Structure 1
């Protein structure tokens, strides 16, 4: 039979025992002379004792078989009352994502054995190896015995996958020669950070038609998964043993390096951004746009970039067996005009919900592919940089409208958050990037990666 994990979330150990004692007094009319505790403060009595027969207590996240723990009740010769079993987590963290069942919830003198099964569902964010504490209670209504179990938890054996979408600042326009990829450099690769080896953004020869944007062979260059290396949106040529030749960066690699601190698994980045891209048609951008659904609005474009992002996420999940842990979006500049800005908020909200629905399920299951599922979606503010090439510190009305849509997203859609970059300007030691201050420079992009990850952590319930 299944049972529900409960917790004592706001009590110290002494307070927890006091609550237990008070409950027993009310239920059984006891005085404090009738209740015993052992040296650890757990409830005990002279009539029976609950024991665990397991020697190895390791629970693996996502393991459908779970952890099976044989239990045995040792009674004295005179006790023959029915004894009920229950389980609680010592804290909220102990009980998080845990479900339990007992083969027998009520023990009798002829059936004094049961098996408890604990299952740990895959958490919303990566777990580190840890220990969790549970109290198993055996009670006949008057007497109780408690068994404390300390259980080792191992994370699911699957990489953490993050989708990178948007336009030039997600691609990275730090400027040629700004990458510091030598050993010990700020942009050095890490063998635990991998990426989908995507083909280059080419509107002239590769991505011309709708079918091109969803073609697996056009989207990925063999080998399909490689060590992540800036620039992420340029494929690694396997014949070039010196790595990628271009010398600019984006924010993805620094994001992944920060995320590594909170996981023991590999990270897989899925680059799917395109410089100059928008929801609206844009003659200077790619042949595809970011609309999540077909539209009759003559100002809005097609769904091809959305479809390409879904295709690439699906390819990465299938290739690695990974778990989609978040989506990073930096975009808005190409929609910051009179004909497009008014539609931006609705388009962005549709993008968030439809990406969550459309990407293939991973090991967390199909139930995590709902519009409001806990798949964090992080947006970033646009550059307010100012240098000799121009001053972007104050946005014009259309751009301010797009900026407000980005800022207001967390209030409208669950599990979204804003990464604020308003201070990443030359005046504060963060030079602008290539061509104009529309683009963040290398130092800013590295800091943005950290901030995107911090924003992702803030989406946790």
Structure 2
């Protein structure tokens, strides 16, 4: 499918690992499709978007933040929204550097989308869990992430494209696999706060699906809405009235910067505190 009705497609690259791919529970009943929301399929054509968007690991694919993000921005754009699913479960930051396989695949998808009438409008990113088990990996994460994003912008030919980073799930990630998750998350905050045309969304209050690793469907949707709010804010679509109406809901305090009276890592209500097996990063 080419660009519908000859109109340009406003493209957004979905990058990172499994919490961007989506591992939330799929709905029992298929959701109503919105013909304005497209996804670049595995065959390289535009299709009407629906869960699951990603096909990195089809047997595990579920609900991620991408579709809720698209629903949140489409009414502010004069053309269809096209999602480029590039995240891959369990992927480390090295695979997103310029010589990495996922970096190259993402750039190829941007080029394919452009050939089908697309214009890249932003990148939303959620990655870092796979770099949280080792002190060495965590200590190098900020440098590697900064370089990966710089190279991705250059390779896509968009030096000032908005990039939005998502915090990791500090409220439930625990155990040896995530021993240095706070270090990695602080790097994400540092870059989201400090780099030009780069921003950040909070993971505060988001819940896991029972595995202390992956966002449940409702939290994945909420994360997508937070990404949408931030992109609208970055691109000048948010006025004072809109901020007053919904800003406090979609822009909560960062989980990585809790109130002094709150523990940095807290058990999400409804889940026990017993020791669990280390989750598989997928």
TM-score class, shorter-chain normalisation, is: 0.7 to 0.9
Aligned length: 228
1:378 and 2:160 correspond: no
Could you say which residue in structure 1 is the equivalent of 2:37? Answer: 193
Could you say which residue in structure 1 is the equivalent of 2:83? Answer: 269
Largest Rg, 1 or 2 = 1
CA root-mean-square deviation: 2.5
Distance across 2 between alignment mates of 1:225 and 1:345: 34
- Deviation of 1:181 (Å): 4.8
Give the SS at the match of 2:52. Answer: coil
- Deviation of 1:179 (Å): 2.2
Distance across 2 between alignment mates of 1:397 and 1:347: 19
- Deviation of 1:194 (Å): 0.6
Could you say which residue in structure 2 is the equivalent of 1:234? Answer: 55
1:457 and 2:232 correspond: yes
1:398 and 2:180 correspond: yes
- Deviation of 1:188 (Å): 3.0
Could you say which residue in structure 2 is the equivalent of 1:420? Answer: 202
Gap regions ≥5 residues in structure 1: 1-155, 199-220, 236-243, 281-288, 295-302, 362-368, 426-431
Give matches, 1:73-152, under 5 Å: none
Q: Is the 8 A contact 2:19 2:64 kept in 1?
A: yes
More strand by share: 1
Runs of 4+ with deviation above 2 angstroms: 178-182, 244-248, 457-461
1:15-50 CA deviation, whole Å, 9 max, x = no partner?
xxxxxxxxxxxxxxxxxxxxxxxxxxxxxxxxxxxx
More helix by share: 2
1:308 and 2:105 correspond: yes
Could you say which residue in structure 1 is the equivalent of 2:19? Answer: 169
Give the SS at the match of 1:458. Answer: helix
Q: TM-score, normalised by structure 1?
A: 0.46
1:212-252 CA deviation, whole Å, 9 max, x = no partner?
xxxxxxxxx16x111112111139xxxxxxxx998721111
- Deviation of 1:459 (Å): 2.3
Distance across 2 between alignment mates of 1:356 and 1:247: 27
1:357 and 2:154 correspond: yes
Give matches, 1:311-326, under 5 Å: 311-319=108-116, 321-326=117-122
- Larger relative contact order, structure 1 or 2 (CA cutoff 8 Å, min sep 6): 2
Q: Is the 8 A contact 2:23 2:61 kept in 1?
A: no
1:440 and 2:215 correspond: yes
- Deviation of 1:317 (Å): 1.4
Could you say which residue in structure 1 is the equivalent of 2:128? Answer: 332
